[in-house]
Amino acid sequence: MATQIQKILIDDLDGGEANETVTFAIDGSAYEIDLSGDNAKRLRDALASFVSHARRAEGATSARGRKRGGGQRPSREKSSEIRAWAKAHGISVSERGRIASSVVEQYEAAH
């Protein structure tokens, strides 16, 4: 028997169909939002004048969410530190397995 799984993005602003997930960061916190093409354009247009005058933060991530110059996963010891920090700051994190990149980014921004 064949199984087909279909992932449908829903626009987080208006509940319609979304075309993409947009990632952005402000004040040390990274965010993701699913948006239609029109809403993604609205977001980018709203930020364009700020982005054009800004500089990249040291350790900034690329569109793929990996750090420039490698993008390695944290070591086991570092993962334990990140999990402990996240729990102490009320951030949901799994007990085992890969730590979400957004949690790692928040940890790195705080240190």
Residue 7 pLDDT more than 90? no
Whether the CA torsion 93, 99, 100, 104 is positive or negative: it is positive
Domain membership of residue 64 (yes or no) is no
Domain count, the chain: 2
Average model confidence (pLDDT) for the chain? 84
Which amino acid belongs to residue 81? E
Domain check: are 15 and 47 in the same one?
yes
What is the chain's length? 111
Helix axes 76-88, 101-110, angle to 10 degrees: 80
Residue 23 pLDDT more than 60? yes
Domain check: are 52 and 78 in the same one?
no
Question: What pLDDT digit, counting tens, does each position of 66-90 carry?
Answer: 444 445 566 777 888 899 999 998 9
Closest CA to 42 of 26, 69, 20: 20
CATH number of the domain within which 79 lies: 4.10.320.10
Closest CA to 26 of 88, 81, 111, 105: 105
**Domain region containing 35:** 7-57
Domain check: are 12 and 53 in the same one?
yes
pLDDT band at 39 (very low <50, low <70, confident <90, very high): very high
In the chain, % of residues over pLDDT 90: 34
